[in-house]
Structures are given as C-alpha cells and as structure tokens.
Amino acid sequence: MKDRVRYTDIFGYERRNALLDAIHATDGTASFDQLKQVVRKAEMKSIEKVGEDSEKKFLKYASHLDNIFFVQNAHPQEDVYKGVDMWIRFKKGEGLPDLPVQVKSSFKDVDAFRENSNYLKRKCLEIVINCGPKVTEENFKIQFRGEIKRIKASITANPSLLNSIKR
C-alpha cells in the first residue's frame, strides 16, 4: 500500500515513524511527554544525519575543484565554538589565505549563519555554503565561485582584513 501521508518538511517521515513505533511499543500507554521526547529524538537524529551528509557532499564536490590544494576538518572545538567545519588551503596563485568553511543544509541556514558573531568577527572571510539534499554539483560550483569572488573583492578593497582570519 502506498504511503499517502504528506510531509510538511523533510523530517516529517521520521517523526511520524518514531511516534508510531513508540505508540506500538507501549501498547498506546505512552504519555504525551514521552511521545514528544521520542519524536524530538528522532528529529535530532535526522538533523544530524542531514548535517553529516552535507559535509560529506562538500568534501566530494570540493575534491573536483582545481583551485583547492586540500580540505581539512576543523578541530571539534572550532566547530562548536567558532562556527568552522573545515579549512581550505588553495593552490598557489589563487591569492587566497587558508579559509574557514561552514557547511549548511539549506539556504535559510546559510542566511542565518551570516548573522553569527564568529562569522562577523572574521569580517565575513569565511566560505558559507549550502550542501543540503537538493544541492547539485553544478549548484555547489556556482555557490563556491560566488563565495570566492566575494572574499577576493573584500580582500582587494581592504587588505588588512587578512588579519581577521585566525586558525
């Protein structure tokens, strides 16, 4: 039988299945708070998976770019406290320092991150890119070129900005 439930977001399927499993496992005796907790846990697990998949997609797509020398995962503390998922080292001749990268799973998350205090402290010299489920390699390349163009223009206009990038 085909599933006929419409999901309003990408986590609706996981929430519904977690809810049904919890109801079934408790023979319908689970409290509202217990069910809410089960649903939230399923949603968090799905969110983490989307984030991990987005970072894997970034690494895959970045490996196809000619101007990148290498990509290195950030230290876990950088990720948590400074908003840096990875660092990119560019090939000589690109005119760019090592740059921090923040990988997001939606354009909404990209826009929200651009308000992050760590991003603003770095004077916006960080690549922020959407590698979510719907992003194709071509879309990734367009975003990446846009970020590089934006950062190069900022550095050209104000070379002292390079002092704001700290590892």
Tens of pLDDT, residue by residue over 112-128, are: 999 999 999 989 999 99
pTM over 0.85: no
| Least confident among 7-16, 116-125, 129-138 | 7-16
Mean pLDDT on 131-154: 96
The 3-state secondary structure of the chain, one letter per residue: CCCCCCCCCCCHHHHHHHHHHHHHHCCCCCCHHHHHHHHHHHHHHHHHHHHHHHHHHHHHHHCCCCCEEEEEECCHHHHHHHCCCEEEEECCCCCCCCEEEEEECCHHHHHHHCCCHHHHHCCCCCEEEECCCCCCHHHHHHHHHHHHHHHHHHHHHCHHHHHHCCC
pLDDT, average across residues 39-45: 76
